[in-house]
Amino acid sequence: MNILVPLNNIEFLKDYINAGAGEFYMGFHDEEWNKNFGNYSDINRMSGYGKRANCLSIYEIPKVINLVKENDADIFITFNSASYSDDELEFIRKYFKIISGTKANGIILSNPDVMSIAKEEGLPIVISTIAGAYNSDIVQFYKKEGAKRIILPRDLSMEEIDTIINIDRNMEYEVFIMRNGCKFSDSNCLGFHRTEMCSICADLDKCNNEINIFDDNFKSRSSMECTDNLLRDEFHYFSCGMCAIYDFIRMNINAGKVVGRSDECSSICEDIKLIRKNIEIASQCNSREEYLDKMIFPENRSIMCTNGMSCYYPEIRF
């Protein structure tokens, strides 16, 4: 299983590779797009974070792709906004023509309209989690549309992932391993990710709330307030799926994804090292139980592992 990480700073490319990363994904910014469609129309899911998450322009992307390939790594470019207008789709075709002249391993797409253009331009298609491949029928639909890899939604259970993979093992699959979980469902979210308010889910956490209970008494109110605090403060505050690494290796998952295109590069580098060590441990183990006993936990385990609230796959331990 390869470690897939965001390439949000070219200066860290060698560090990422030396730490154990074998695949990269990245977006880009384009002032011409903003002039045509405004600042609230996204090229990718993290366009709202500007150059913080998309440090390069589209015209710099080919050089970066070549640099990554020279280092024997794979690279994918993101076009995973929740939706595009007809005019935006035609504008995206220009980007695809630029990328089609490179050795990029694929473009990450979110809906069938973009896929049609990608096929016309001869680009390898990777299905974003935004596209919602929640079952094997949806996977087969995207396969017919030309997809070579599916990024499985981060809220799928281990059993659901195993079922999807067993139905079609000729598809490449990617799963989430570290950072930035989602409290809801990416594919059913039409909110923005932006620097102003972060995201709709984060905004809901920060706003004032009032708990109203039909049969209000001390016991029910106390239980409700406890649940509210847990969901606000701990549910996917961090996100980690390292306990599932043993299973994913046995499933022949192609890549484990580290999220965080706007996160600190040094922190991502530490995540890569930890995941690599756990992949090495899992590869030497004969059972899930043996791996769970021997695996290395994150430094902030006492917070991250509380009640399974930050687990991508809590059923492994909880």
Domain that includes residue 180, residue range: 2-316
pLDDT band with cut points at 50, 70 and 90 for residue 45: confident
Contact 31, 58 (CB under 8 A): no
For residue 64, the SS3 value is: helix
Distance CA 16, CA 268 (A): 8
List Cα–Cα distances, 252 to 161, 170, 312, in angstroms. 12, 11, 18
Q: Using one digit for the tens of pLDDT, what is the confidence trace for 108-134? A: 999 899 999 999 999 999 999 999 999
Q: What is the mean pLDDT of residues 32-53?
A: 87
In the predicted model, what is the mean pLDDT of residues 214-243? Answer: 84
As a whole number, mean pLDDT of residues 36-64 equals 89
Average pLDDT of span 228-240: 79
Q: Check residue 214 and give its pLDDT.
A: 86
Band of the pLDDT at 302, cuts 50, 70, 90? Answer: confident
SS3 state at 29: strand
Q: Which pLDDT score is estimated for 182?
A: 78
Number of domains in the chain: 1
pLDDT at position 197, please? 61
Quote the tokens at residue 246: 């043993």
What CATH number should be reported for the domain holding residue 169?
A: 3.20.20.70
pLDDT at res. 32: 95
pLDDT at 196 (0 to 100): 66
> If DSSP codes are grouped into helix, strand and coil, which group holds residue 26?
strand
Where do the H-state alpha helices sit in 71-157? 86-100, 112-120, 136-144
Q: Give tens-digit pLDDT for 165-175.
A: 999 999 999 99
CA nearest neighbour of 279 among 175, 145, 168: 175
Chain-wide mean pLDDT for the chain?
Answer: 91
Q: Higher-confidence residue: 251 or 182?
A: 251
For residue 5, pLDDT beyond 80: yes
DSSP-H helix ranges across 121-264: 136-144, 158-167, 200-206, 218-233, 245-250
